[in-house]
Structure 1
Amino acid sequence: MATDSQTTGPARSLSEKFYFTVWRWHFYAGLYVIPFLIMLAVTGLVMMYIAVFSGRDGEHISVTPTGVALSLEQQSQAALSALPDATLVEWIGTAQADRASVFRVKSEGTQHLVAVNPYDATVIDSWVRQAGWYDFANDIHGTLLIGDTGDRLIEIAAGLGIVLVLTGLYLWWPRTTGLRTVLVPDLAARGRALWKSLHAVTGFYISVVLVLFLLSGLSWTGIWGEKLVQAWSSFPAEKWENVPLSDDTHANMNHGAIKDVPWALEQTLMPESGSDAGIEGLPADVPATVDSIAMLGRALGYEGRFRINFPSGETGVWTLSQDSMSNDSDCPTCDRTVHIDQHTGKILADVGFADYSLMGKSMAVGIALHEGDMGLWNLILNTVFCLSVIFVSVSGVVMWIKRRPSGAGRLAAPPAPADLPLWKGAALICVVTSLAFPLVGLTLLAVLAFEVLILGTIPAVKRALS
């Protein structure tokens, strides 16, 4: 293969020029995306296995059942006594009789989790929330530990990851060989040819899942996710007839980077207590307490592990919730959130999976799949998928190293065609992409401008990156 098609080699056909152009874009996208893909796969595996075997919120802390469980009021008072100046934030129910009750409490400005034996109200353990290995991996996975800047870098990587998949599928498509050669790796090959076969075939088989994971990840990001998709897909609080609304959104029930609220509700305004609005929930003579709210939840159909958020202030509401986002269940279509007026006990809002928008439903299922929440099959699928992503990323680097001339003081990128065919069409694609994925489109425009204006006019830069 010629090392510089702009100056050597026979004239290429338009299809050959387009192939080399796509290869070059695939290569440059890979330079940026590969470190992120490896990071996302590794941290994703760490979080998934911690959630399964250790639990995210103490859900695997065991106790020995002895008789009948004490009231939640007694258990909550024990949790409060474990920390100074504590206030109750949330009760996290147990999925089994031999598991501890967990309370989220706020003490001196810090959120803690307190595990309580439900049979004798003794405090088993307490710890600062978001201080474990799960939370550390989650912060890397979402922000690279550098806040919004990390979020934006990951958003660009996820978008370019989709570019990487699409260009890779174009390169993978058989042109002169049979379909079998691209569906089954050529294990008889040696050297770079073997790595190329393994890279292409593995990449093909994970391509659909990779795009789905990248899209669900993008939906969490700060620009495409929060500002565009989520803003247009959130449940409209106006559907709650004559219910007074707070200035707070459901996202206020989240704690930092940990997502406790379904994606479709995060930007939805919370209802307020203190009016005659709502439908019958608790009987008029039954005060709203954590025990009566839990009984109401079971009467409404909540089973297994569910949560109760305590009211915050005079206008706050009791909130019953069970969703796969919080690892409460392995059934994303069973998501349900119910708000109750703390003064009247009336139900102000009741939102389930069926009430979500199409995008909200897609995200509920997609996030559960993304996190491996849907059972053993999901755990196995995600494990194989993440290991495959790591392999495809590493094999891409190996192919580049084997292709790069020994001792070359340059990048050894795929050769650029002499006249950059269809660059105007590429520019149009970049503009359209900018409208759908702003950060990704702007990045593609910047790369295209660099290719045309810098590489095309500065020989030293061209040599270094060729």
Structure 2
Amino acid sequence: MSDSQFTASRRAPDSASKSPFYLAAWRWHFYAGLFVVPFLMALAITGLMMMHIGYFDGRDGGYLKIPVPQSSTMLSVSEQADNALASIPGSTMVEWLKARGPENPSVFRVKANGAQSMVAVDPYTGAVVDSWPRRSGWYDFADKVHGDLMIGTTGDRLLEIAAGLGIVMIITGLYLWWPREGSFLHAFVPNLRASGRELWKSLHTVVGVYVSIFLLLFLITGMSWTGIWGSKIMQAWSTFPAEKWDNVPLSDDIHASMNHAPREDVPWALEQTPMPASGSDAGGTSIVSGAPVTINSIAVLAQDLGFNARYRVSYPNGDKGVWTINQDTMSADAEDPFSDRTVHIDQYSGNVLANVGFADYSLAGKAMAVGTPFHMGLMGLWNLILNTLICLSVIFLSVSGVVMWWMRRPAKSAARFFAPKVPENRPHWREGMVVMLIVSLAFPLAGLTLIAALVLDLLVLSRIPALRKAFA
């Protein structure tokens, strides 16, 4: 292809700029980006922090190192737990995290005076290796920002709106990029011969095309944990039915009660499902009859049930509480989401009340069981590298979008900081509103945001001459 043909193929989208829908899509791409960019930057940066801290330093002390003696006989879990409790006077046991390997400690979560702490114990000597307040590290700081911007429900709602508008931005961006003339192949290659804003535009477009599918997956899996679209719509619809548990007695608590904000430890498909309750003859016999139901026998049961990676055991909470063995890729227990498993055991009889694995989830639950650890970069080194490239691409797209806006903004206009210069004789941006609403109403908060923008335009912007000129 000659230089003139190559250049023509790059300018092909401009020839479509007279199309009403093209201009409407361009306008919505800009306005969605105006809201989304700061949130995408925050999510990408904190995502990078969490992935790299988690991979190289670990979460909850799982990667601490201990010497392995020649005689590698381990103490019982109960002995290790007693030492963990003794290190924090007045504490009670909440959870045991099995050691990742022979060179790593057991980790116990204990509670005292309303606060929770993590205690790492050498399983060979019983010595306390380290202890620290739970959720107090840099990983947890990044997680709080990533989850709700550290402002609670308001931050959750803002991020849900940003994710919904991010999907609008992806769709409009792909429409603007779609080759209308010239070579389709060259639409995937940046025009490095260009300079100035054209070079920025070419790089922004091509990087955006490559990262769009991954970004869409990240936005959807992230939104699945949000308060409206995730918990109230998708998660409730896809919740694992407790009726499958052979009519075992159910607690008033749901699985989400086992979570401790901001991190979600319970599989997405189980969060809204009621917990089983102890104190009946229900369930299948599991622990040898007559044997006491303790952390030691629960650990043996986990081995017999085939748990194949690091797992965690939650202690019963109250008279109706159950023992819970959980192995979840989302919690960095394993790199294989298909091995995820949750088992509940009656604290009195030792009977298995529920045994839920990946195969038991709904289609949406399975998608989340795979999508969430992929989103978090927990499925191995390849996942970490890929997600790092995606996060860096998102940062570049955000920065390049701002650079292009700055280079193109009108020099003298009341809207120079908000409304970029667009081709003359364009129709009003309402031309594409119906299509965008159909897409965005699948995500209620984003849809309400766009409706509010339309109402603002109809009642205010279009009725005041100065504003109509600035935002037309």
- Conserved in 1, the CA contact under 8 Å of 2:23 and 2:429? no
Q: How does 1:1-12 map to 2 (within 5 A)?
A: none
1:16 CA drift (Å): 1.8
Cα distance in 1 for residues equivalent to 2:137 and 2:183:
51
Cα deviation code 1:298-322 (max 9, x no counterpart)? 0010123111110111111111110
RMSD: 1.8
- Which has the higher mean CA deviation after the structures are superposed, 114-123 or 12-21? 12-21
1:396 CA drift (Å): 0.6
Aligned position for 2:61: 58
Cα deviation code 1:350-402 (max 9, x no counterpart)? 00000000000000000010000111110110000000010011001111111
- Conserved in 2, the CA contact under 8 Å of 1:430 and 1:442? no
Give the alignment's TM-score, normalised by structure 2.
0.93
Aligned AA for 2:209? Answer: F
Aligned position for 2:175: 170
Aligned: 1:79 with 2:84? yes
Cα distance in 1 for residues equivalent to 2:26 and 2:344:
53
Q: How does 1:257-276 map to 2 (within 5 A)?
A: 257-276=262-281
Aligned: 1:299 with 2:304? yes
- Conserved in 2, the CA contact under 8 Å of 1:27 and 1:414? no
Cα distance in 2 for residues equivalent to 1:382 and 1:104:
30
Cα distance in 2 for residues equivalent to 1:84 and 1:414:
66
Q: How does 1:173-252 map to 2 (within 5 A)?
A: 173-252=178-257
Cα distance in 2 for residues equivalent to 1:135 and 1:375:
21
1:175 CA drift (Å): 1.9
Aligned position for 1:315: 320
Aligned position for 2:166: 161
Aligned position for 1:426: 433
Aligned position for 2:37: 34
**In 2 relative to 1, CA 30–362 (structure 1 residues): closer, same or farther, beyond 3 Å?**
same
Q: How does 1:312-391 map to 2 (within 5 A)?
A: 312-391=317-396
Aligned AA for 2:381? Answer: L
1:83 CA drift (Å): 1.1
Q: Paired residues, what number?
A: 453
Aligned AA for 2:428? Answer: L
Aligned: 1:456 with 2:467? no
Aligned: 1:444 with 2:450? yes
Aligned position for 1:395: 400
Gaps of 5+ in 1: 1-11
Gaps of 5+ in 2: 1-14
1:54 CA drift (Å): 1.0
1:65 CA drift (Å): 1.5
1:230 CA drift (Å): 0.2
| Displacement over 6 Å in runs of 4+ | none
- Conserved in 2, the CA contact under 8 Å of 1:162 and 1:211? yes
**In 2 relative to 1, CA 419–84 (structure 1 residues): closer, same or farther, beyond 3 Å?**
same
Give the alignment's TM-score, normalised by structure 1.
0.94
- Conserved in 2, the CA contact under 8 Å of 1:20 and 1:414? no
Cα distance in 2 for residues equivalent to 1:134 and 1:381:
20
**In 2 relative to 1, CA 393–446 (structure 1 residues): closer, same or farther, beyond 3 Å?**
same
Aligned AA for 2:30? Answer: F
Q: How does 1:102-181 map to 2 (within 5 A)?
A: 102-181=107-186
